[in-house]
Amino acid sequence: MRFVRVFVAAVMVLFLSKHVFAQSADSAVPRAMTTTEKAAMAEKVKAEALRSWEAYKKYAWGHDELHPLSKKPFDWYGSTLLMTPIDALDTLTVMGLKPQADEARTLIDTKLNLDQDIYVKDFEITIRLLGALLSNYELTGDKRLLELADELGRRMLPMFNSPTGMPYEYVNLHTGAVRGTKSNPAEIGSLLIEYGMLARHTGKQEYYDKAKRALVELYKRRSPIGLVGSEIDVETGKWSDPTAGIMGGIDSYYEYLLKAAILFGDQDCAKMWRDSETAIDKYLADRRPDGLWYGYADMNTGARTHTFYGSLDAFFPAVLVLGGDARQAADLQDSSYKMWNLAGVEPEQLDYAKMQITAANYELRPEIIESTYYLYHSTHDAKYLAMGQTYFDALHKYCRTDEAYAALADVRTKKQKDSMESFFFAETLKYLYLLFAPESTLPFDSVIFNTEAHPMQRSAGLK
C-alpha cells in the first residue's frame, strides 16, 4: 500500500513538473508587467542604445557603420553616406537622447555628401536614407533634411528609366547611370512610402507617380493565381525565379501595398493588397498540427517548394495586424517565438517541417520584435511584453560586446561576427524600446513605419 502511494506521488510529481516546464518553455509567461517594470525595461533598452551609439562615435564617427569586434569603421561603397547616424537619428530622438540626436543631425546637415561617383542599391538607400531624412524632417522641422531628401530623390530618379518602369537595382549618384537588370519584388515594390512622402513634402508629384508605376508594373506581372516570384528582369518583365513566399526579397513588397493604401488613401494599392493577401493565404500559409507557418511555393502552380521560414519572414504578423487580422498574426507570432527559442536566438532560416536550422546566422534583425510590438499594441496581452523581455535578455547575453552589439555567425554556438548593421539602431532597438515605453512616446495610430522603422505621419496626402 505504501509502495502504491509512493508510486502515485512520484507519477504526480513527474506530471506536474513536465506540465510546468512545458508552460515555461513553450510560451511566454503571461504575467502582467507593472508600469514601473515596463518603464525600467524601456530604460534598459535606452541604456544599451546609448552605449552602442557611444561605441559608434568612438570608433566610426562619420562612417557608415562600426564593425563591433575589430572596432573599425566600415563604409558600404568605400566612401561614407553616413548610414548609421542617419538611420539612428529618429531612434535617438524617440528615446529622448537629445544631445546625441543633435550632434548626429549637425553631422548630417553639414557633412552628408550625395554627389558621389558610386553605384548605390536603390532599395537600401531609399528605405534607410531617404526614409530617415523624411521622418526626421517631420520630427524636427529641420528644412536641411528635406533639402537633402529632395537632392537624394532627384539623384535616384534615373533608376526608374527602364522599359517597364521597374527600377534597375543600382544607380550612380553622380552620373545617374544604372546597372542591374535582375531585381526582385522587395527592391522594386518598397519605394512608394518614401517617394510618396517626398512628393507630399516637396509637391513634386513625379516622385509618387514613378514609384507607384513600378509597384503597379510588378503587380501586373503576378501569376494567374496571384503570386509573385523571387527574381524578375526589369527590362523584359520576365520572371527568372518563380519561387513565391513572404521571405526576404519579396517581404516588403506586400508590406508597402498595405501601408501605401493606409498612408496615402490609395485605393489601387488597397485592391492590390487585398488580392495579394488572398493568394498569400491560399498558397503560402501552412497550417500544421504544430501551428501556423508560411512557406515557399511555385508562383504558377501554388505547389509547395520549401518549408522554410526565417528571421525576415517574422515581419508578417505586423502586416497582418495592420491589415486587421490579429488572430492569424498571433498564431504566426507563436511560431516565430518557437523559432527564437529553438537555440535561444532566432536563426536566419529554419525548415519548419523538420524544425531544423538551415541558415544559422543572426544579423541583429528586428522583425520578430516589430511584430511583437504591433501585437502588444493591438491586444495589450502581457505575453508580448514577456516575449520582449526574452529577446532583450538573449541579445544582452549573446550579442553584447565589451562596447557595442554584434551579429551572430551561428546561433547554435553563439559565435559573434564583426557586424552591427544600421538597422540595429533604426529598428531593433526602436521597436524594443517602443514595446515598453508609454504609448504617448510615439502614438502608434498617428504614423506608418516604413520598412526600416522610420515613422511617417499619417495625414491626408497625395493620391
Site of interaction with ligand DMJ (CB under 6 A) = 127, 252, 312, 365-367, 423, 427, 451-452
Cα angle 102, 106, 111; round to 5: 150
307 C-beta neighbours (distance < 10 Å), count: 18
If the CB atoms of residues 277 and 346 are measured against ligand DMJ, the closer one turns out to be: 346
Least spacing, CB of residue 40 vs ligand DMJ, in Å:
27
In angstroms, the Cα distances linking 299 to 170, 183, 304, 329 are 26, 16, 10, 23
Which residue's C-beta sits nearest to ligand DMJ? 451
SS3 196: helix
Which residues are designated catalytic? 124, 251, 348, 367
Least spacing, CB of residue 95 vs ligand DMJ, in Å:
19
127 is written with which cell numbers?
528605405
Question: Rounded to 5 degrees, what are φ and ψ at 356?
Answer: -115, 140
SS3 98: helix
Least spacing, CB of residue 193 vs ligand DMJ, in Å:
11
Q: Which helix (H) or strand (E) holds 133?
A: helix 131-140
If the CB atoms of residues 185 and 295 are measured against ligand DMJ, the closer one turns out to be: 185
If the CB atoms of residues 223 and 243 are measured against ligand DMJ, the closer one turns out to be: 243
If the CB atoms of residues 218 and 223 are measured against ligand DMJ, the closer one turns out to be: 218
d(CA 404, CA 298) in angstroms, rounded, equals: 41
Residues 6+ apart with CB under 8 A from 342: 350, 355, 357
Least spacing, CB of residue 255 vs ligand DMJ, in Å:
8
DSSP secondary structure of 314-354 = GGHHHHHHHTT-HHHHHHHHHHHHHHHHHHSS--SEEETTT
Least spacing, CB of residue 246 vs ligand DMJ, in Å:
12
Whether 329 and 373 have beta carbons less than 8 Å apart is answered as no
Least spacing, CB of residue 253 vs ligand DMJ, in Å:
10
DSSP secondary structure of 217-266 = HHHHT--TTS---SEEETTT--EEE-EE-SSTTTHHHHHHHHHHHHHH--
If the CB atoms of residues 129 and 146 are measured against ligand DMJ, the closer one turns out to be: 129
If the CB atoms of residues 223 and 252 are measured against ligand DMJ, the closer one turns out to be: 252
Least spacing, CB of residue 427 vs ligand DMJ, in Å:
6
SS3 141: coil
SS3 267: helix
Residue recorded with cell 553616413: 82
Chain-centroid distance of CA 314 in Å reads: 9
SS3 216: helix
If the CB atoms of residues 90 and 223 are measured against ligand DMJ, the closer one turns out to be: 90
Sign of torsion over alpha carbons 263, 442, 434, 418: positive
In angstroms, the Cα distances linking 126 to 119, 170, 171, 263 are 13, 11, 12, 17
If the CB atoms of residues 170 and 423 are measured against ligand DMJ, the closer one turns out to be: 423
Least spacing, CB of residue 451 vs ligand DMJ, in Å:
4
